[in-house]
Amino acid sequence: MKSKVLVVGGTGYLGKRMVKACLEEGHETYVIQRPEIGLDVEKLQILQSFKRQGARLVPASFSDHRSLVDAVKMVDVVICTMSGVHFRSHNLLVQLKLVEAIKEAGNVKRFLPSEFGMDPALMGHAMEPGRVTFDEKMKVRKAIEDANIPYTYVSANCFAAYFAGNLSQMGTLLPPTDKVLIYGNGNVKAVYVDEDDVARYTIKTIDDPRTLNKTLYLRPPENILTQRELIHKWETLSGKQLEKSTISEQHFLSPIRDLDYAQQVGIGHFYHIFYEGCLTNFEIGDKGEEASELYPEVNYTRMDEYLKIYL
């Protein structure tokens, strides 16, 4: 019997993919419809499209505890995909209200909070101000674990649309046309994952006892690449060589004080990924599992295939 699933943040960037994957896997799927939607007609239309595909819309609000409890009582699994990036909206601690509702409802057999990036448990050393993302995720984790709520945390690494299509250049989403900036020696391994694959892998975990109270790391082996390898894939596809320049760790970090808050956060995260190698510089221990090993049936998108949409 497949679990009933509630998606919180279903109209968002990752949320709409999560709803789609949930429906495709045959789960009875519920999506929170918040009254705060107001006149945001695009969000309303996304919700209506979910309804046409078979999802059930559940009115609930973070400012109405009872409505959250009632929504949670309808399902077995809750997945939250609220945004935690500063250049969009940053709402991670709102999840504490959801944790309270799950605790009171008492029926949820798995909660997947909004993580989907680097593993915050490994980022206690992260630089200011970017560490706020990890600190807040750890606060949510503490609340979940203190309440004895069964969980799965998903570490999805670099979303391809933000890190692959632009060859990991900051401030753009498109591949550079002539010059590309390489961080350090460009040989630090990162992990690039198509966002649709993030959703597919995530939904696979919810009825899987192997992922209960563990962190799922998305490390599809063919997508563990250095920045130079990613650039080479693009050059091969496009048939065009890019002029490469490298930037040292010192020069990369030096302008950080003069930037706005969201840019400072971004610089810090890029530093940890591309200079420190925080996505790949550790072994997955007994508290974690690797997604492509657990679910070899997921035919994940390779980055040379992914980059073709930019040609």
Active site residues: 137
Q: Tokens 């010192």 — which residue? A: 250
A 10 A CB-CB count for 71 gives: 24
DSSP letter string over 197-261?
HHHHHHHHHTT-GGGTTEEEE---GGGEEEHHHHHHHHHHHHT-PPEEEEE-HHHHHTTGGGS-H
CA separation for the pair 209, 225 (Å, rounded): 30
Residue 134 and residue 111: Cα distance in Å, rounded? 18
Q: Tell me how far apart the alpha carbons of residues 248 and 21 are, in angstroms, rounded to a whole number.
A: 41
Residue 138 CB coordination number (10 Å): 15
Half-sphere exposure of 30 (CA within 13 A, CB side): 20
Which residue reads 């798995």 in tokens? 110
Radius of gyration for the alpha carbons in the chain, expressed in angstroms and rounded: 20
